Amino acid sequence: MKHGEGVGPAGPPSECNIPAVGGDRCFAGTVTGVVLVGGGSNRMGANKALLPFGRERLLDRVVARVREAFPRVILVSNDSASYNYLGLPVIRDIYPGRGPLSGIHAALSAVATPYIFVVACDMPFIDPKLALYLARQAPGYDVVVVRDGPYLEPLFAVYGRGCLEPVESILRRGLRARVVDFFPAVRVKYIERGELSDFADVDKVFMNINTPRDLERALQFLE
């Protein structure tokens, strides 16, 4: 149940020395929240973004929590008609069919803010304070991502405009690449997952829903 992707040699060590934040709307205005609404939902058998999750749809829940952290929120999807009801900008992939990396590229190409916070639409337990905390680590880096041993959480991460050219270089090759494949070309700050327990229940935050069994399990954690 992980979006985590393996990565090569470790990058710079984490330096989580910026105080915890909450409600810092001035800083949050430099970041656009991006919800990736892609994938075929093949293992779910239905469009998981629109599945009921408690009293709301899964996507609505994710969007609401991203909005708690960042005043600007956009969706990335090639099916804008299904999501226009939210009243948010819906950005299409410039390089369709290339997975989440294409969605990150589309978002970076569309926004005016120096950073984006990217999250997948199937992560119902987003913690807004943790999202904003990660964003506060971004100055001086191109990527801020949580690391758990050899795995990263690239779909709950911060990306700066300096990522745009390296990502586009990969996508131009016509291959479906992992999100982490461009990391060697940029400045990455790795935040160790174990350091985040004071901010949130990280096991819940990084839970994602791919199958009916995942959905059933996630609903058990719904408060």
Assigned domain for 2 exists: no
Q: Any binding-site annotation on 122? A: yes
Is residue 93 a known part of a binding site? Answer: yes
Domain membership of residue 18 (yes or no) is no
pLDDT for residue 219: 84
11-36 mean pLDDT? 58
* Range of the structural domain that residue 147 is part of: 23-220
* Residue 9 belongs to a domain: no
pLDDT for 12: 31
Kindly report, residue by residue over 42-53, the tens digit of the pLDDT. 566 578 889 888
Categorize the per-residue pLDDT at 39 as very low, low, confident or very high, splitting at 50, 70 and 90: low
Is residue 36 a known part of a binding site?
A: yes
Q: Which residue has the higher pLDDT, 132 or 12?
A: 132
65 membership: H or E segment, kind and range: helix 58-69
- Which pTM was predicted? 0.86
- Give the 3-state secondary structure of residue 206: coil
What are the Cα distances from residue 194, in Å, to 1, 16, 58, 146, 190?
Answer: 18, 11, 27, 9, 12
pLDDT cut 90: percent of the chain above it: 65
Digit-coded pLDDT (tens) for 146-181: 999 999 999 999 999 999 999 999 999 987 789 999
Q: What string of DSSP letters covers 79-104?
A: -GGGTGGG-S-EEPPSSTTS-HHHHH
Evaluate whether 34 touches 126 at the Cβ level (below 8 Å). no
CATH value at residue 164: 3.90.550.10
Name, in order, each residue with C-beta under 8 angstroms of 9's C-beta and a sequence gap of 6 or more.
none
User: Which tokens is 52 given?
Assistant: 């009921």
Q: Is residue 3 part of a domain?
A: no
Other CB atoms within a 10 A radius of the CB of residue 203 amount to: 12
Q: Judge whether 6 lies within some domain.
A: no
pLDDT at site 128: 95
174 is in an annotated binding site: no
Q: Would you say residue 11 lies in a domain?
A: no
Average pLDDT over residues 109-121: 97
Whether 27 maps to a domain, the answer reads yes
What does the pLDDT look like over 174-206, one tens digit per residue? Answer: 877 899 999 999 999 999 999 998 878 888 999
- Mean pLDDT in the chain? 86
Asked whether residue 29 is domain-assigned, the answer is yes
Number of folded domains that form the chain: 1
- Across residues 107-114, what is the average pLDDT? 97
Please indicate if the annotation marks 22 as binding a ligand.
no
Residue 37 labelled as part of a binding site: yes
